[in-house]
Structure 1
Amino acid sequence: MSRPLLYSGVLSLSLLLAGCALPIDSTDSHPVLGADEFTLRMDQLEADLAARCELQQVALSDHSRRQEVLVADVREVGSLLRHLRADVERLERVESEPLVITQECVADELGLANKEVVGRSEWIGLPDVGTYLKARIDSGANTSSLSAQDITRFERDGANWVRFRLGLTQDDVVVDDVREEWIEAPVERRVRIVQASGEESRPVVSLMMTLGPIRESVEFTLNDRTHLNYPVLLGRRFLMDIAVIDVAETYLHERPEFPGGRPADEAAMDEDDRDDEER
């Protein structure tokens, strides 16, 4: 069907409907549109309708975009609420349950996991000498000290050596066979000690020492400690990198056993805890 005929049909139908709705007044005159004017009017109506449809489509697209943003915001809020609820539940569990901090975790954080714990007093062993002795652990002292008497300097193969006996009293617990034995060792160095009575130079020797699972070569200054309660003092140079002190404990490690000495299970009878001060 051609476009003019379609327009004519629409016009006729409109006039017919108008005639049904309104009374016919033969006295009124109605302008009659020509074919060109009608075509122009229809083109204008079609253009207006297309423009309105385009505006409506733009508005619909904008509405869809806003709806998508709103849905994303709602999902984000829901995720935040779920995380917040989980945090609240976790906090409630923490408040209701006792906080347990294991010693291993603390040791790891402080870098102490690979260090041996020792008490403020311990049994040590001197394998090269063949005896055990009581030792006081003192981080305030730099170098360890061993009680010695009759210290005699001599030279061997061009090197400085010392010969000495252990400085012990009758109260000191030791393998009796070594009380009067001479011990010889090369001098590693000498240290200068300043005291109220004046300056003193002491030799330093290196002896193998055991303390529980620890087996190390330890430097000892040699001096007479018979006026003190412990024949051995272990200082910072020994503790460094291998041990830490638990000052609330004593004799955490078993007494080593040597030929001629008493068994380790009898060590408790010989253990006491006194400050390393004059007897």
Structure 2
Amino acid sequence: MITIRFDARALFMRHCLPSVGILIVATLLLSGCTLLPDREPPPVVTSAEFQARIDQLEGAVTASCVSGQQARLDEQLNQQQALSADMREVGSLLRQLRGELARRDSEDDTPEVTRQCRDSQARLDNKEILGRSEWIGLPDVGTYLKARIDSGATTSSLSATEITRFERDGENWVRFKLGLNDGDSVIDSVRDEWIEAPVERRVRIIQASGEDSRPVISLLMTLGPLRETVQFTLNDRTHLDHPILLGRRFLMDIAVIDVAEQYLHERPEFPGGRPAEEADADEMADRDTEVKE
């Protein structure tokens, strides 16, 4: 007798399950058109358009890198120049200190009052005495101007308006006019004359109203027997009494201030200007007045 075993589960897996799978796949294929949203074909980009876009991106990246590098270089230059000025000031103080120590060692028996007088005289040797206001000359511009002498200011300043930046031979330049009031003493021919000069550096000025970045230029300046190239920041000083301010970087090692005096040196003469002996009339307005700057 032959015994036949009937395995219903195996029979279902062999014959029914493949049919069910086929049915599910067919259903998904038929319904796929309704399940997937309509999509527009991607735009066709030509090789020329692709290359142009790559060139544009390269240009933007290069410009960004150059701009950032220039800003860092300018900041480093400003820091280096400020550090050099501070080192000069420290060196001057050290030289004075060494001189005083040497004099004290050699003059221990000298009365105190006498030593103080000699020390004061030694500090004044080879230095010009300036009043709180003086006449200065700008040979490169061709005019004289009134200047306030202020040891509390670090950098000298020149009153300027209509300051315009431009580039010449790959370098930064500025074009400006002197910032003057109607009552300022000046050679009339330069009142509305454009002045051009290369930018030496830029300085950041922090005031109560906020920060301001100002260009710095170099101009030859005369004051009595002094003839020096001075760095000036450019900004509008028409609301002040003096179109020029001379700071301590100019004064260092060459001049001292007597705040009780004004106009100790004659006004320089330029073509088109009045003689130096007629400067008294222009100085009277500043005599015995309080400086507002």
The TM-score normalised by the length of structure 1 is: 0.61
Provide, for residues 168-203 of structure 1, a one-character-per-residue CA deviation record: whole Å limited to 9, x for no partner. Answer: 010111000000001111101100011222111000
SS at match of 1:249: coil
How many angstroms apart in 1 are the aligned matches of 2:119 and 2:159? 37
Change (3 A) 1:121 1:268: same
Change (3 A) 1:261 1:102: farther
How many angstroms apart in 2 are the aligned matches of 1:252 and 1:157? 42
* Residue 139 of structure 1: how far off its partner (Å): 0.4
- Would the aligned equivalents of 1:129 and 1:178 in 2 still touch at CA under 8 Å? yes
Q: How does 1:198-213 map to 2 (within 5 A)?
A: 198-213=210-225
Q: Does 1:125 align with 2:131?
A: no
Which residue number in structure 2 is paired with residue 188 of structure 1? 200
Q: How does 1:102-251 map to 2 (within 5 A)?
A: 105-109=118-122, 111-251=123-263
Change (3 A) 1:188 1:102: same
Corresponding letter in the other structure for 1:183: I
Which residue number in structure 2 is paired with residue 56 of structure 1? none
In structure 2, list runs of 5 or more residues that go unmatched: 1-110
Change (3 A) 1:115 1:153: same
How many angstroms apart in 2 are the aligned matches of 1:259 and 1:103? 46
132-141 vs 187-196, greater mean Cα deviation: 187-196
Provide, for residues 63-116 of structure 1, a one-character-per-residue CA deviation record: whole Å limited to 9, x for no partner. Answer: xxxxxxxxxxxxxxxxxxxxxxxxxxxxxxx9xxxxx9799945443x320111
How many angstroms apart in 2 are the aligned matches of 1:108 and 1:254? 24
How many pairs were matched up? Answer: 180
- Would the aligned equivalents of 1:145 and 1:223 in 2 still touch at CA under 8 Å? yes
Aligned-pair identity (%): 75
* Residue 275 of structure 1: how far off its partner (Å): 4.3
Change (3 A) 1:123 1:214: same
Higher Cα radius of gyration: 1
Change (3 A) 1:101 1:270: farther
How many angstroms apart in 2 are the aligned matches of 1:128 and 1:103? 42
SS at match of 2:164: strand
- Would the aligned equivalents of 1:230 and 1:276 in 2 still touch at CA under 8 Å? no
Which residue number in structure 1 is paired with residue 277 of structure 2? 265
Corresponding letter in the other structure for 2:203: V
- Would the aligned equivalents of 1:104 and 1:113 in 2 still touch at CA under 8 Å? no
- Would the aligned equivalents of 1:228 and 1:276 in 2 still touch at CA under 8 Å? no
158-167 vs 265-274, greater mean Cα deviation: 265-274
* Residue 148 of structure 1: how far off its partner (Å): 0.1
In structure 1, list runs of 5 or more residues that go unmatched: 1-93, 95-99
SS at match of 1:153: strand
The TM-score normalised by the length of structure 2 is: 0.58
Q: Does 1:277 align with 2:292?
A: yes
SS at match of 1:256: coil
- Would the aligned equivalents of 1:204 and 1:222 in 2 still touch at CA under 8 Å? yes
SS at match of 1:199: strand
- Would the aligned equivalents of 1:147 and 1:166 in 2 still touch at CA under 8 Å? yes
Question: After the TM superposition, which parts of structure 1 deviate over 6 Å for at least 4 consecutive aligned residues?
Answer: 100-104
